[in-house]
Amino acid sequence: MKTYFRLLSFAKPIEKFAIPYIIYTLLYVVLSSLVFALLTPLLNTLFSADECNTVAATAKAAKNTGFFNLSAMYNHYMQYFITNHGAVGALKFVCGTIIITIFLGNLFRYLSARVMENLRLHTLLNLRRAVFNNVMDLHMGYFNNERKGDIISKIASDVQVVQYSVTGTLQVIFKEPLQIIVFLIMLFSYSVELTLFSLLVVPVSGFIISRIVKRLKHQAVEAQQSYGRMISYLDESLQGIKIIKAFNASWFIKERFDDENKKYSKIMRSMSRKQQSASPVSETLGVTMIAFIVLYGGTLILEHRSTLDGGQFISYIAIFSQLMRPIKSITDSFSNIHAGIAAGGRVLELIDEKPLVVDAPNAVALPGFEEHIAFKDVSFAYGDKTVLSGINLNIPKGKTVALVGPSGGGKSTLMDLIPRFMDPQSGSIAVDGINIKEASTTSLRALMGIVNQESILFNDTIFNNIAFGKPDARPEQVEEAARIANAHNFITETENGYQTNIGDRGSKLSGGQRQRICIARAVLNNPPIMLLDEATSALDTESEKLVQDALNNLMKNRTSLIIAHRLSTIQNADEIVVLENGKIIEQGNHQQLMAHNGVYRKLIDMQTFAED
């Protein structure tokens, strides 16, 4: 129930929808039920021997039904039409009343359905917004541990299921029970004895249907989990399609996906069998109960042990046949609610996942960058694995600092701490003397431009990729940024220039072209601090030279922190910091470190030997 009430909170303000829904539904139930009350005078008008008998029959109907005292009033008009217009006139009156009642009832039914749909969409909007917003705020480490396909499944598929648990609530607690109550009042007004007999067989039907629903609940959870894995496999396969083909592993990927697909299909097939059996079982039980009622009630009438006449008995059977409809609807709604709560638990996992990096309540906006970035006794660990230990480092304004060292030494982690993609377990990082934990992440990251080894681009135009995050950027600004990044020439040679779509992840461009688009994006942002994480390591020699020239243009008059794969590209750095096992073991410029004859010298010699 805790999960359910949390899901229900996403429907707020629920009274905005609940109040009109209750009003419209109440009118619909009353009007639709009146149609069955009108069956008795209709049948008696059709089958009475003469007008007198018709009047007597309708009077008797008014006395016996007494439904909301409307029958007496209706009987008055029936007598009027019979007296002045005969049986045919009364028949016209009954039929006209039935048409008007049905029209009004269905009008209110339509209005209640519209309100329910608005509630459903309102809930879906709030829930999906909450999930996506929280996912965007999560720390980078979370995405390293979770399958993206599973996240996609929760945002897309599970959220869709959850909404029905909310909309089904109003049906379960108001609409269907109200219909059942109205029908029962009408049935008891016709015959207490017959109704009590009829109700003895209703629990049998409810028990059988509830058993079917209970089995569906467990399978719904399994289906959601299987679907999430299948989406994960699809996402991984599309991302790694080149590697899959290169290693002739298509058979393995196909088999893995097909196995999960078969499992999901098996679960859905089993669920479908149960869902599809619910209606036939319900209908069979309903008809069986009606048959028993016809047998029992007919016997009472034939033996003159009942006050019901033929028209009333047929009306009674018609009303009872409708009683099973809201009962079945309630069981179906409970099925949707159970499935929604199960999916909701998975969705709430994303919402409850707390970001490791959050702005302090009194976070200040950094005015700019004038002095330095300072690391003081910084340590960081992933679980039990220590990645950085006791880091002390100063990065002055306008200087270029390079991070080098063996793989796994903590270089990328140290860089990720500056824009607060993660926070250290101990120590502090300050910009111009202000602890970055006391500054807003928005103002902090606005000081920085980031170019990674992997070119992160979007399936959009070249212009929009360069102007990403700057919707007000002018064409001349974008072009100038592209020129600085050595990208303008190849852009103008594409089919539509700056309006050329680059495909998924920039698949229509080469690696060097993608990287230069990323550099142009950083140039346009014009940050005072640049973070470059092995920006040229994945490029061939020709592309690397073009990109390196672009990076040199980018770093002019800026503070830069570089992680370099090829050490030859950072020899002119003002400061080179050597990291090994999460600690700074050497620090200085190129000449100083070469003269020291330590780890840096060994790295240079090994790379020179490999290139020779």
pLDDT digits (tens, 9 = 90+) for 241-296: 766 776 677 888 888 888 988 988 888 888 777 666 666 776 677 677 778 788 88
Q: Is 80 exceeded by the pLDDT of residue 73? A: no
**What is residue 585's predicted lDDT score, i.e. its pLDDT?**
94
Residue 357: inside a domain, yes or no? Answer: no
pLDDT confidence band for 65 (50 / 70 / 90): very low
The answer to whether the Cα torsion of 457, 462, 463, 464 is positive or negative is negative
Tokens in use for 85?
């217009």
Cis peptide leading into residue 361 (ω within 30°): no
Question: Which residues, in sequence order, are bridge partners of residue 533?
Answer: 563
End residue of a domain, out of 352, 379, 394:
352
Straight-line distance from the first to the last Cα atom of the chain, in angstroms, rounded to the nearest whole number: 69
DSSP 392: E
CB 344 within 8 A of CB 205: no
Q: Is 50 exceeded by the pLDDT of residue 59? A: no
End residue of a domain, out of 493, 522, 551:
522
b/e sequence 337-371, b meaning 16+ C-beta within 10 Å: bbbbbbbbbbbbebbeeeeebebeeebeebeebee
pLDDT digits (tens, 9 = 90+) for 182-234: 888 888 887 888 888 777 766 766 676 666 666 666 677 677 778 778 887 88
326 and 460 part of one domain: no
Mean pLDDT of 430-459: 87
Q: Is 50 exceeded by the pLDDT of residue 511? A: yes
Q: What is the 3-state secondary structure (H, E, C) of 453-513?
A: CCCCCCCCEHHHHHCCCCCCCCHHHHHHHHHHCCCHHHHHCCCCHHHCECCHHHCCCCHHH
Residue 383: inside a domain, yes or no? Answer: yes
Instruction: Give the chain's domain count.
Output: 3
Closest CA to 357 of 306, 424, 405, 293: 424
As a whole number of Å, the CA-based R_g of the chain is 37
pLDDT digits (tens, 9 = 90+) for 338-380: 667 767 777 777 777 777 677 888 888 888 888 899 999 999 9
**What is residue 61's predicted lDDT score, i.e. its pLDDT?**
45
Question: Which residues, in sequence order, are bridge partners of residue 149?
Answer: none
70 and 174 part of one domain: yes
Name the residue with tokens 């009364």: 90
Mean pLDDT of 410-418: 91
pLDDT digits (tens, 9 = 90+) for 375-406: 999 999 887 888 999 999 999 999 999 999 88
154 and 216 part of one domain: yes
End residue of a domain, out of 470, 487, 522:
522
Which residues have CB under 8 Å from 101's CB, separation 6+? 31, 32, 34, 35, 38
Q: Is 60 exceeded by the pLDDT of residue 54? A: no
231 and 324 part of one domain: yes
Residue 209 belongs to a domain with what CATH number? Answer: 1.20.1560.10
Cα separation, 301 vs 304, in Å, equals 5
Residue 423: inside a domain, yes or no? Answer: yes
**What is residue 338's predicted lDDT score, i.e. its pLDDT?**
65
Residue scoring higher pLDDT (92 or 201)? 92
**What is residue 278's predicted lDDT score, i.e. its pLDDT?**
63
Which region among 253-262, 319-328, 439-448 has the lowest average model confidence (pLDDT)? Answer: 319-328
Residue 279: inside a domain, yes or no? Answer: yes
**What is residue 414's predicted lDDT score, i.e. its pLDDT?**
93
Residue scoring higher pLDDT (339 or 99)? 99
Cα separation, 514 vs 550, in Å, equals 12
Residue 515: inside a domain, yes or no? Answer: yes
Question: Which residues, in sequence order, are bridge partners of residue 147?
Answer: none
Residue 418 belongs to a domain with what CATH number? Answer: 3.40.50.300
Cα separation, 388 vs 418, in Å, equals 14
- Give CA 276 to chain center in angstroms: 27
**What is residue 304's predicted lDDT score, i.e. its pLDDT?**
77
DSSP 598: S
Give every strand in the sheet of 583-588, ordered side by side: 448-451, 529-533, 559-563, 400-404, 575-580, 583-588
163 and 89 part of one domain: yes
Name the pTM for this structure.
0.67
Q: Is 60 exceeded by the pLDDT of residue 49? A: no
Percent of the chain with pLDDT over 90: 16
Tokens in use for 561?
């922190």
387 and 472 part of one domain: no
Highest mean pLDDT among 124-133, 230-239, 427-436: 427-436
Residue 591: inside a domain, yes or no? Answer: yes
Q: Is 60 exceeded by the pLDDT of residue 140? A: yes
pLDDT confidence band for 577 (50 / 70 / 90): very high
**What is residue 381's predicted lDDT score, i.e. its pLDDT?**
87
Mean pLDDT of 20-37: 84
Residue 358: inside a domain, yes or no? Answer: no
Residue 587, domain extent: 366-447+527-612
Q: For the chain, give the mean pLDDT.
A: 79
State the helix-helix crossing angle for 15-37 and 159-170, rounded to 10 degrees: 60
Q: How far is CA 292 from CA 199, 322, 491, in A?
A: 11, 16, 81
